[in-house]
Structure 1
Amino acid sequence: MNGLAERLKPPEVVSFPGSHLGLRWRPLIPSDLGAVADLIREVEKEDDAIFRTSSQEIADLALGHLKASPLEVIVGIAQDHGIVALGSVKVLTGVTEAAVAIVNAVIHPLWRGRGVGRSLLHWQDGRARQMLVEYFGAESTLQASIANWVDGHMTDRRRLYIAAGFYAKHMFQVMYRDLEGSEHLAPVPENIKICPMSEVSFSQLHRVHSEVFSDHPLAEARDFWWNRALEDYEDRWSFVALSDEGQICGYCMAGRSAESWIAHGRLEAYINTIGVPADHRGKGIASALISASTRAAAHDGMNRIGIDADLKSPTHAQSVYEHLGFVNDRTRVFYSIDQ
């Protein structure tokens, strides 16, 4: 395979979106975070976003300004309205199987339809190519991807990505089931016990998680799922399956998103990541783990519990979840340019 620079062909210079669009662009500085938080929350409410950006994630945008990670964030400022747009490019340093940059944009509804999104994505694409080559090296033979998640109902954004050369690489079905307060437990496989996740170390659990998703087509999503699970983690609703010898045979990390609770006014749990090592699949371990999380969340008074199903899963995850009472809600699409 040719080197990264030859495949990505990064431009020598990447300019900010043009001022002719009515906005002045500059890098984000820490004092912007309050205005950026207001913008993100207003936009996510307007767009009815499936998942909401946490305060931690918003604060982390300043890490690029501090040169603490390969992250670049710019803001678009309207003369009389302050910050009305934001664009970011982040290299995923935790992924070693591929060279991946995630792009993300937030644009106030009043500033859409003026070419801001298209111009911002052009800047993001150019910077992503430059940053990937800078971080991984011009001669790297790693598969390269520039990518982002888009909610399925956001048709304008999906059209924008497609017009820019992205393709729908993967799709996830968001599923929910209502909770009644007294859920039945699924049978536990022989020689397996379901235990609170606090009984194992997170370093050990992370190794199992990495193993479970090592051959997943979206290697770039592995750390995203893990970090999201850690941020929302609720120990009372999270469980591991252990063999008689103490080996981890599966795990189910559930949590609660404070931002979603505030935005929707609804108490719900969400299973952020679940995994069963290949040599333990087909035994009902995933069902037993989900059942334990569901019962625990119901006991704590949650109204419902959610999970997302990989529609390309070789384990037919969606069918398993349907059998456990989950029903389809909305979809998320992973768009990518692969080189």
Structure 2
Amino acid sequence: MTGLAERLKPPALVSFPGSHLGLRWRSLIPSDLGAVAELIRQVEKEDDAIFRTSSKEIADLALGQCGAAPLEVIVGIAQDQGIVALGSVKILASLTEAAVAIVNAVIHPSWRGRGVGRSLLHWQDGRARQMLVEYFGADCELPASIANWVDGHMTDRRRLYIAAGFYAKHMFQVMYRDLEGSESRGPVPEGLHVVPMSEVSFSKLHHVHSEVFADHPLTEARDFWWERALEDYEDRWSFVALSDDGEIAGYCMSGRPAESWIAHGRLEAYINTIGVAPAYRGKGVASAMVSAATHAATQDGMSRIGIDADIKSPTHAQAVYEHLGFLNDRTRVFYSIDQ
């Protein structure tokens, strides 16, 4: 494979979106965070976003190059409204199998349909190419991607990505199960026992997580899932299946999506990541762990629990979750430009 610079062809210069759009653009500064938080929450409410951005994630936007991964964030400022648009490019530095940049944009509804999103995506594409080459090196032969997740019902945003050359690489089905009647736990496969996740080393869990998703088509999302799961991790609803000799057979990491609680006025749990080691698949391990999570969340007064299923999963995850009482809600699409 040729080097990143030859494949990505980063532009020599990437300018901010033009002033003809009616906005003044500059890099985000810490004092912007209050206005940015207000913008993000207003936009997510307007768009009925499936997942809501946490306060920590918003605060992390100010870290830039000082954070764990290279990150660049710019804001668009209207003369009479303040910050009405935001664009970010983040390198997934923790990945070793691929060079990946995640792009994200937030635009106030009153500023849509004016070309802001298209111009912002053009800046993101150029900066992503530059940052990938800067971070990984011009001669790096890792496969490269510029990517983002888009809620399936956000058709205008999906059209924008498609027009810019992105393609729908993967789709995930968001599913929910009402928790009434989940007071009892299901059976645990013979030779295994289910324990709270806090009883197991997280470094060992991360290693197993990497092995479980080693052959997944979205290698670039593996560590993103892990890091996201840790953001709102709730130990009381998270479990590990262990063999009698202490081997990790599977894990189920659930979270407390506090921003969704506030947005929807409903208490719910969400299984952010779940995996079963290859040697233990087909033995009911996932069912046992989901059962433990639903039982624990019910005991804490949650009204429902969610999970997302890879629609193309070779383990037929969606069918497994349907058998456990989960029903389809909405979809999320992973868009990518691969080089």
Q: Please say if residues 254 and 272 of structure 2, whose CA atoms lie closer than 8 Å, have aligned partners that are also in contact.
A: yes
Cα deviations across residues 249-307 of structure 1 (Å, max 9, x unaligned)? 10000111110100000000000000011111111100100011011111111100000
**1:261 matched residue in structure 2:** 261
Residues 3-18 of structure 1 aligned to structure 2 (within 5 Å): 3-18=3-18
**1:113 matched residue in structure 2:** 113
Q: Please say if residues 237 and 297 of structure 2, whose CA atoms lie closer than 8 Å, have aligned partners that are also in contact.
A: yes
Cα displacement (A) at 1:65: 5.9
Aligned partner of residue 61 in structure 2, secondary structure:
helix
Cα displacement (A) at 1:66: 4.1
Residues 49-68 of structure 1 aligned to structure 2 (within 5 Å): 49-64=49-64, 66=66
Q: 1:158 to 1:203 in 2, by over 3 A?
A: same
Looking at structure 1, the residues matched to 335 and 88 of structure 2 have their Cα atoms a distance apart, in angstroms, of 16
**2:146 matched residue in structure 1:** 146
Root-mean-square deviation over aligned CA pairs: 1.0
**1:45 matched residue in structure 2:** 45
Looking at structure 1, the residues matched to 327 and 229 of structure 2 have their Cα atoms a distance apart, in angstroms, of 22
Looking at structure 1, the residues matched to 284 and 179 of structure 2 have their Cα atoms a distance apart, in angstroms, of 21
Q: Please say if residues 250 and 277 of structure 1, whose CA atoms lie closer than 8 Å, have aligned partners that are also in contact.
A: yes
- Residue 250 of structure 2 corresponds to residue 230 of structure 1: no
Aligned partner of residue 39 in structure 1, secondary structure:
helix
TM-score, normalised by the number of residues in structure 1 = 0.98
Aligned partner of residue 337 in structure 1, secondary structure:
strand
Residues 196-215 of structure 1 aligned to structure 2 (within 5 Å): 196-215=196-215
Looking at structure 1, the residues matched to 226 and 68 of structure 2 have their Cα atoms a distance apart, in angstroms, of 20
Aligned partner of residue 288 in structure 2, secondary structure:
helix
Q: Please say if residues 64 and 72 of structure 1, whose CA atoms lie closer than 8 Å, have aligned partners that are also in contact.
A: yes
How high is the sequence identity, in percent, across the aligned residues? 84
Aligned partner of residue 16 in structure 1, secondary structure:
coil
Q: Which runs of 5+ in 2 are unaligned?
A: none
Q: Please say if residues 182 and 294 of structure 2, whose CA atoms lie closer than 8 Å, have aligned partners that are also in contact.
A: no
Residues 1-339 of structure 1 aligned to structure 2 (within 5 Å): 1-64=1-64, 66=66, 69-339=69-339
Q: 1:316 to 1:21 in 2, by over 3 A?
A: same
Which deviates further from its counterpart, 279-288 or 329-338? 279-288
Q: 1:41 to 1:307 in 2, by over 3 A?
A: same
Aligned partner of residue 269 in structure 2, secondary structure:
strand
Q: 1:267 to 1:107 in 2, by over 3 A?
A: same
Cα displacement (A) at 1:59: 0.5
Cα displacement (A) at 1:229: 1.1
Which deviates further from its counterpart, 221-230 or 15-24? 221-230
1:126 corresponds to which letter in structure 2? G
Cα displacement (A) at 1:160: 0.1
Q: Which runs of 5+ in 1 are unaligned?
A: none
Q: Please say if residues 69 and 92 of structure 2, whose CA atoms lie closer than 8 Å, have aligned partners that are also in contact.
A: no
